[in-house]
Amino acid sequence: MPLFASAIVLSFAACERGEIEAGRPGYAEPPHEGGPDAPPETGVHFAEIAAAAGIDIEHENGAFGEKWMPETLGSGAAFLDYDVDGAPDLLLVNSDWWPGHEGSGQRPAQRLYRNLGDGSFEDRTTAAGLGLSLYGMGAAVADYDGDGDPDIYLTAVGPNRLLRNDGGVFSDVTAQLAVAGDPPDGPPAWSTAAAWVDANLDGRLDLFVCNYVRWTPATDLFTTIDGTTKSYATPQQYAGESCRLYRNEGGGAPFTDISEEAGVRNSEGKSLGVAVTDFNGDGWPDLAVANDTQRNFLYRNDGDGTFTDIAVRAGVAFDEAGRARAGMGIDVADLGGDGQWAIVIGNFAHEPLALFTRIGKDLFQDRAGAARLSRPTLVPLTFGVVFADFNLDGVPDIVAANGHIEPGINAVRREQTFAQRPQLFLG
């Protein structure tokens, strides 16, 4: 099975409030760069073309000095052919100002860019009905109603939104379909990631939603990394919130929350990512969930739309020392094209990438070390991670999006910086 043996560090980095150029103080460098283990030239190169392509959004996290915890998470993005013209368009999720701390100018909103087919995009947000404001986190795209065009589910701090696509114009059907995501008790949910999945193979796409922790502005805690000034709070200080699974009843009827009966209700998790896979090849979709400072979940579909969490016995719940890591981004791929699935998870600083590779029935092994992923990913803090074949050799590669949550981290941890370079590992 191919391993991820060479790494390329991309040549740019961006943070929430500006940029730090490579080579300047405060920029995190991977441990091997410039040394004897520097990766060879591979012929894969990237160029930043956002401005030239007409992508002009600036993400807003609403920070006003109090360092509220949701400000640490950037928002997601999705490619979708919203107007069904054969060209992938781009949705960029945005967050918002905090109530009582509004900024000046136009209120932050989601942005939809239409692909013009010549390498450029035009902003179609307003025309498509997507100029809504919420403290957005992520997006899941699928044609849930089977009418031939992709719909959008947005996760957020507070109520989530389901936006139905009707010929390139979106309408909010969240209340109608009962998928806002708020728990029956406690504060509004902080949802992070979501995935559409036909859990019971009835031909209708169901909705799995990851939730994080029970946080509100009133419960934001004082935390400090320098002994004096406020820092961002961490998930260990808050109770987790269970993920949710909503069954699609079809015909425009409200979705049904089946989290309990489907076996996925578990407030132990503090979930930031989910990936859908059929890791055991039985034809039923399974779910891998990355949790922050808690063990990961691996929900095996029992063949009827209900699930059993086998993460502990499958070897994907903890690291090799039996410790829970701060899991964030997650993706799955068949590395060898032979059904031997792998799960990659991005973790916090000083916790390298996990590469859980299937070695037997319901059994995985973390092969990040053997794949030469551990050392170059030890220092960075990885939020997003994706499998893709970047060099078109037929083998999945890995890209990791890195960056710290604390702008002043370099003052107390010299090996850490706020802005960090993304990394690309070729399979």
123-179 per-position pLDDT tens digit = 999 999 999 999 999 999 999 999 999 999 999 999 999 999 999 999 999 999 999
The residues, ordered by sequence, that sit 6+ positions from 351 with a Cβ below 8 Å of its Cβ are 319, 325, 326, 378
For the cut 70, the answer to whether the pLDDT of residue 79 exceeds it is yes
For the cut 50, the answer to whether the pLDDT of residue 11 exceeds it is no
- Per-residue pLDDT band for 29 (boundaries 50, 70, 90) equals very low
Domains of the chain by range and CATH?
6-426 (2.130.10.10)
Lookup: tokens for 248: 């699609």
Q: Do 123 and 54 touch, CB atoms closer than 8 A?
A: yes
The helix/strand/coil state of 169 is strand
Query: What is the DSSP secondary structure assignment for residue 371, as one 8-state letter?
Result: T
**Over the stretch 190-200, which tens digit does the pLDDT of each residue have?**
999 999 999 99
For the cut 70, the answer to whether the pLDDT of residue 22 exceeds it is no
For the cut 50, the answer to whether the pLDDT of residue 20 exceeds it is no
Lookup: tokens for 273: 């990512």
- Whole-angstrom Cα distance, residue 264 to residue 257? 11
Q: Which residue has the tokens 């507070």?
A: 158
The predicted structure's pLDDT at residue 43: 77
The predicted structure's pLDDT at residue 41: 66
The helix/strand/coil state of 408 is coil
- Per-residue pLDDT band for 75 (boundaries 50, 70, 90) equals very high
Q: What is the pTM of this model?
A: 0.90
HSE-CB for 176 with a 13 A CA cutoff: 10
- Per-residue pLDDT band for 340 (boundaries 50, 70, 90) equals confident
- For 248-260, letters b (16+ CB in 10 Å) and e give beeeeeebebbbe
Q: Do 305 and 318 touch, CB atoms closer than 8 A?
A: no
Determine what percent of the chain is predicted with pLDDT higher than 70.
90
Query: What is the DSSP secondary structure assignment for residue 309, as one 8-state letter?
Result: E
The predicted structure's pLDDT at residue 107: 96
- Whole-angstrom Cα distance, residue 44 to residue 121? 24
- Per-residue pLDDT band for 270 (boundaries 50, 70, 90) equals very high
